[in-house]
A and B are shown apart, each in its own frame.
Chain A
């Protein structure tokens, strides 16, 4: 009879939830939220990015509660987001002001300001490090103090340097179109649902909160053959950016009156894509366009894939699904895709009964015809 018509469903559900707790606790060990914060940087970053809520502590809590399941942790944080009143929009952030931790360009060897490798897995060999099994707190402390000494010895620069954007250099050469500043307030996809054709601000919001795997897959598909975008990474930068809000009472406030409310870590990517353009003399000319990618935390693959998709969606005329905004933007959200896929586990007794009736009816009709 299945589990729908059975009286006592409530009890069964309670037992199931209890069992879930047992599975989380049966190893008789627990992890502190602080430990997750300190050791699972990549996961915390990814959860915040897909949940579009920047709060490392709550992301770590979600990871603990979800037993490390990414989709579940994102889900928890998104649901929490729905309970919070939206009070402010921040002032526009300029990523030139980023406190850069890592910044590389694949386009130029010698970029103004230099390449700064920072922390990355890119140059490591992916070999399991069995020594980590034995890692102790005193090992960590010792390594840290040695490292700090080393860093202090290597003559740190006194002043904070400003890293110009790689693209500015190319703009000066006239290889990029210089666009006027666009100061229309962005549409907020969490306050107004996405309508088509989508504005660029809506597109970027959907992409940046997209599921890492989904964004990466579609970006990859475009690169491999189902799209017309073959970019060069102009610049990847990772670092912290301060956030300001203006006082709510004043209509037009001065910059000095703004409140600093904290900083967020971001990964930003600008991809350069060569495109054929017609100039004023009606001749074809090669020019570059930019694909833009940005996301919370350090998640470079996602940000690069996003920059590819941003550029794809700028060219809807290409006959590929990766250039179709409805195809891309409506299918990359973690909460939406995992939710709808998992709803297939719900009972479908009525709908299936209705389908049975329809199939039987059609069969009878066909038999009548045959006789």
Chain B
């Protein structure tokens, strides 16, 4: 008894259903559209929402890039790539610019995305209001009534307690002046990249069964007060010890020999690209 896997794993009926959900999500920027999330061959919480979007959109012509917390070679990115490739045979790339479809967990690549690309973000907790309201039934009403005082109070309380907002990743955003949305746990550093993004951004939460979207050229602002403006993670006076980049999100490492703290680009393919082009320049200058 042997069975042949279907193209892109899911049956066509399921894919259509997911694509319809995506269309609705694009039509209502920032609104979480419920969908009947399928069980995938990877675990819930490991990117099944993103994976279902990827698999229902992917065609034979597509070029796919998968990253996990900035890295192309991270265990889960590798596992997702392997699954998509074995069921579709599409080309896989690590170069951000070459990809037509990018599935990512918790990072937006450093290379600016274009209108020809779709970014799919994996979402663990799609509900930005869940922190103060446990019930789905109620948060749905709060969104419908655009009743977001809880979200503002949350930031206000942090300022009262700590003298500044203390959010980390997943800092809530306002989409198209209508919906407060969880941008998925991308660092605050990446929030501004969502604003007026050329690329379509789709966000999928498999376990929570929600899909939402930021269509190209949509206003996305991070929640903040005028006198306590939104602040990205601070990397002033720090740079990547490999490629020297200083305007990127950095991973903090400890040098095994010296015991000192050093920094490295979190976006591994970006770092690699810079290293390669630096090398070319050096080689080029020798030749000349």
Contact = CB atoms under 8 A, between A and B. Distances in A.
A342 interface: yes
A249 to B, nearest CB: 19
Contact of B69 (A82, A189, A348): A348
B129 to A, nearest CB: 14
A82 B40 CA distance: 7
A79 B75 contact: no
Interface string B174-188: 000000000001111
Interface string A157-201: 000000000000000000000000000000011111111110000
Contact of B79 (A13, A354, A366): A13
Given A342-B43, A350-B106, A1 B253 contact: yes
Nearest to A188: B36
A143 interface: no
Interface in A349-367: 349-351, 353-359, 361-362, 365-366
Contacts of B48: 339
A339 B6 contact: no
B152 to A, nearest CB: 18
Contacts of A153: none
A68 interface: no
B17 A191 contact: yes
A81 interface: yes
B34 A6 contact: no
Contact of A365 (B35, B45, B73, B163): B163
A351 B168 contact: yes
Given A85-B13, A193-B34, A326-B137, A347 B264 contact: no
A125 B111 CA distance: 68
Interface residues of A, number: 59
B223 to A, nearest CB: 15
Contacts of A366: 162-163
Contacts, number: 179
A336 interface: yes
A109 interface: no
B166 A361 contact: yes
A81 B39 contact: yes
A184 to B, nearest CB: 19
A3 interface: yes
B5 A83 contact: yes
10 contacts: A5-B73, A79-B40, A189-B36, A195-B34, A342-B43, A342-B46, A347-B68, A351-B69, A354-B168, A365-B163
Given A188-B36, A335-B39, A343-B43, 19 more contacts: A1-B253, A4-B71, A7-B73, A13-B79, A78-B39, A82-B39, A193-B209, A330-B136, A336-B207, A340-B44, A340-B207, A350-B69, A350-B185, A350-B186, A350-B187, A351-B169, A353-B187, A354-B233, A355-B168
Interface of B: 5-6, 9-14, 17, 34-41, 43-46, 48, 68-71, 73-79, 105-107, 124, 134-137, 140, 162-164, 166-170, 185-189, 207, 209-210, 231, 233-234, 249-253, 264, 266, 268
Closest 10 CB pairs of A and B: A339-B44, A343-B45, A78-B39, A339-B43, A340-B45, A193-B209, A9-B73, A82-B38, A365-B163, A196-B137
